[in-house]
Structure 1
Amino acid sequence: MSIFSGTIHTLEQSLDYSSLKNKTISNNIANVDTANYKAKDVVFKDVLNSASSSLEAKRTHPKHLPFQATPNTTPYNVIQRDNTTYNHNGNNVDVDKEMTELAKNQIYYQAVVDRLNGKFGSLKTVIKGGR
């Protein structure tokens, strides 16, 4: 039995994802002038699609679709963008795109932190007996 709901674990994974995305974007920006550097992205969808083929769960009715549960793995991967080249030196970092992604990621991170603070605030209220 867990003292916290699955929501806190999900929010923790969301913070991990956002932190990794921020690190990846920062590396891309730092290497904007590095020859032959290929920008990297953090992706979730590819991992989900590949994992969905191996899902398995208990079937309570013969007409239920079978699927298999996967072990706890990181739900995202860092991939390299190889399909473009923006600069004459083989580099494909677009600073405007990276800055936009950084701003979006900061908003996402702050939203997750606010939600996590709300969850802990609720727990604090319960612990204090509603006061």
Structure 2
Amino acid sequence: MLVNKNLGILERSLDAATLRQRTIANNVANIDTPQFKSKQVVFEDLLRQELTGTSRQNLEAYRTDRRHIPFAGSGGKAMPMVMSNPNNIVQNNGNDVDLEFEMNEYAKNQIWYNGLTQMTAGYFQKLRSVIEGGGK
């Protein structure tokens, strides 16, 4: 009852937002490093595929009893991944960090993170209300 699918999705989304923040900070910190290749976090498309059932990772491992613990990674648990930015334009020094793009991604990520924390807080507030017996 305390842990459900939605809470797990919120948790993984917060992890992705945190990883994205670190990745953006690393990109910006290396803006003047020759030959540095920027990275990006991929998560939302993987999560969308999981939720719509279009992911190839949705196959669960065969269990002989429903009480058996599922294999790690089964069930299509989308996790954030750090990947190279293939479409960035490379500068003369081989670096492909675009400060304007990174700051835009930072702002979007900050808004997304704030929304996720509000949703998580709302979930626990509702749970607390139920535990305390409603609006006493």
Q: Into which bin does the TM-score normalised by the smaller protein fall?
A: 0.7 to 0.9
- What aligned pairs does 1:1-131 form with structure 2 within 5 A after superposition? 2-44=1-43, 45=45, 48=49, 52-56=55-59, 71=74, 73-130=77-134, 131=136
Distance between the aligned counterparts of 1:87 and 1:33, measured in 2? 10
Q: Which aligned runs of 4 or more in structure 1 are off by greater than 6 angstroms?
A: none
Q: Secondary structure at the match of 1:41?
A: strand
Q: 1:41·1:81 contact (CA, 8 Å) conserved in 2? A: yes
- Cα distance, 1:25–1:82 mapped onto 2, change above 3 Å: same
Q: Secondary structure at the match of 1:101?
A: helix
Which letter maps to 1:108? W
C-alpha root-mean-square deviation of aligned residues, in Å? 2.4
**TM-score normalized by structure 2?**
0.75
- Residue 66 of structure 2: aligned partner: none
Q: 2:14·2:113 contact (CA, 8 Å) conserved in 1? A: yes
- Cα distance, 1:52–1:35 mapped onto 2, change above 3 Å: same
Distance between the aligned counterparts of 2:85 and 2:115, measured in 1? 28
How far is 1:71 from its partner?
1.3
Distance between the aligned counterparts of 2:82 and 2:113, measured in 1? 18
Q: For residues 23-62 of structure 1, give each alpha carbon's deviation from its aligned partner in whole angstroms, at most 9, with x where no partner exists.
A: 000100000000000000111336859x8235337xxxxx
- Cα distance, 1:55–1:79 mapped onto 2, change above 3 Å: same
Aligned residues, how many? 117
- Residue 61 of structure 1: aligned partner: none
Distance between the aligned counterparts of 1:86 and 1:37, measured in 2? 10
86-95 or 114-123: bigger deviation: 86-95
**TM-score normalized by structure 1?**
0.77
Q: Percentage identity across aligned positions?
A: 37
